[in-house]
Every structure is written in structure tokens, then in C-alpha cells.
Amino acid sequence: MSLEPWLRRHPLLAYCAAVYGISWGGILVVTGARGFDLVRLQAADTAFIFVAMLLGPSVGGLAMTAVLDGQAGLRRLRSSLMRWRVGLRWYAVALLAMPMLLLIVLWPLSATVDGAFAPRFQWPLFAIGLIAGSFEEIGWTGFATPRLLALKRLFIAGLSLGLVWALWHAPVDFRQNFNALGAAWLLEFAAFYVAALTAYRLLMTWVYANTQSLLLAVLMHASYTGWLFVLYPATSFEQDLVWQTALAVSLWGVVAMVIAVARFAHRRSRLATQRPVTAEELRGLR
């Protein structure tokens, strides 16, 4: 029995299965080799896990595109990746939203609460963001986002993909923080991943819906991850929860602002298209 008909009926489900299978499968291989003892993981193990996480969305997206859309689909993917003429305002959103929000959150906290909240500006770590954005968005935006937008309203499409994206990080965050935090890890994961990433994916979906540019999605993802690594403060767990929650609230505030502006613009455009009834038309209605 051919698998292709099922893939065509359930492309998004198949893509998510491929992403989670490749990424989480790689993590299970590494941790299993160490007897599932997270403390014993070495630098090489961490590097392998990082590669597995990158390959899940990218390989899954490329493979699904090739199977379902063939060479034409791969050409469209490349064309979207090369689409750079989209207007400066979209570049401003993609590149500046994350560092501005982080600094707006961290600087006041460092000045009024504790100096530990001060951003550290570790510039070389921005490379991690560039790598993550370049690989991951081939799948998240290149494959999944257009299909979700064809089926759902923008908010539901972004929210759905945001939750999938956030939960995909669970094994890595669990490995990094559970031994130190215990059950409190769930609070950190809810704030830093579920709340923040879901809001940011909504913004990424909004930018893509207005530009059709995979390149901007790559830059926007790189900005998020890169600036987090660059500015990440030397805070305790309790302090982490404070600034991470504040960041998530700020991101959702931006989402609410975008929704409000979009609704206002929609009402205005509808009013602008409503032509006044002329005297002749009014007499014809009598």
C-alpha cells in the first residue's frame, strides 16, 4: 500500500510526525547511549542533539515538499527564500522586535530590582540564532505555514504552529533544566517556551502572510534565538521566571496591538469602499 495518498490527505500531520521523529529520535539515541543519565551527557552529545533538532524541521520540510509538490514545490520554496523586496517596515519588525522587547524588559529590571538582570551582550553567540533560523524555517514557514494559512485564519494558524514549535523544544529544555529545577521546570517551560514562542510564531505568521517571504522568517527566527543568546542575563531561576514572564507578556501585548491595528485597517477599508448613494439612485429606490 502506497504511503503517498495518506501524506496528501494529512500533510501537516505527516510533517509534524517527521519533525518530532527525527529530532526526538536523535535525542533518544544520544540519551539512551548514556543510560538516560542526563548528567553524563558530554559536549559531543549536546552537539549531536543540536544537529538532530535542526534536521527535524528542515529535512522534514524538504522531504514533504519534494514528495507532495515535486520540483515545482522546491522551486517555490527557493523563490520564497530569495524574496527580499518586501518593504523596510517588515525588515524592521523581523530584525528589531526581539532585541527591543528584551532590552525594554531587562534594562528597567536591572536598574530597579537587581543588577543581575542586565543584558550581557555576548555577541559571538548570535551565530546560534543564524544557524537555527536558516535550518528550522525551511520547514516551519516554508512547508507548514502556507498550508495552515490555506486552511485556517491567521490567528489560528499561528497559534497552532506556535504550540507545535514550543512543545518540540520540550526534551531539550527538560534535559537542560529538570535536574536543577525539578517539577518547577514546568513553570519555566510554560513561560519561556509555550507563552513566548506561541506569541512570536503568531507574529512570524503575520509577517509571512503579508510578505510571502521565507527569507524574512529566517531572519525573524535568527533575531529571536540570536538575541536571546546574546543578551541572556546571569540570573537565578526565580529571576529567570520574572524576566521570561515579562517577555512573554510583552510579546502577547505586541500580538494584541497587531490584531487591533489590523481590525481598524479592515474597518477603514470597508468604509472607504462604501460609495454614497446618489440622488438618482435614491429616486430609483422609491
CB 31 within 8 A of CB 175: yes
Taking the C-alpha atoms of 206, 262, 211 and 16 in order, what is their torsion angle to the nearest 10 degrees? 20
Which residue type does 49 have? Answer: I
On the 0-12 / 13-18 / 19+ scale of CB atoms within 10 A, 19 is buried
* pLDDT score for 276: 61
Q: Is the dihedral of CA 176, 181, 184, 188 positive or negative?
A: negative
- d(CA 63, CA 214) in angstroms, rounded, equals 17
CB within 8 A of 145, min separation 6: which ones?
157, 161, 204, 205, 208, 217
Q: What angle do CA 16, 161, 204 make, to 5 degrees?
A: 130
* pLDDT score for 286: 45
* pLDDT score for 280: 55
- The segments of the chain whose pLDDT lies below 50 read 281-286
CB within 8 A of 60, min separation 6: which ones?
15, 18, 19, 22, 139, 143
CB neighbours of residue 199 within 10 Å: 23
* pLDDT score for 120: 94
Helices (H), the chain: 4-9, 11-33, 43-81, 88-112, 126-139, 145-151, 154-168, 170-181, 185-189, 196-211, 214-231, 237-272, 279-285
* pLDDT score for 35: 82
* pLDDT score for 273: 66
Percent of the chain with pLDDT over 90: 80
The distance from CA 200 to its chain's CA centroid, rounded to whole angstroms, is: 6
CB within 8 A of 270, min separation 6: which ones?
none
CB neighbours of residue 95 within 10 Å: 16
Number of domains in the chain: 1
CB 168 within 8 A of CB 19: yes
Grid coordinates of 122: 555576548
- d(CA 130, CA 229) in angstroms, rounded, equals 11
Structural domain for 177, as ranges: 4-285
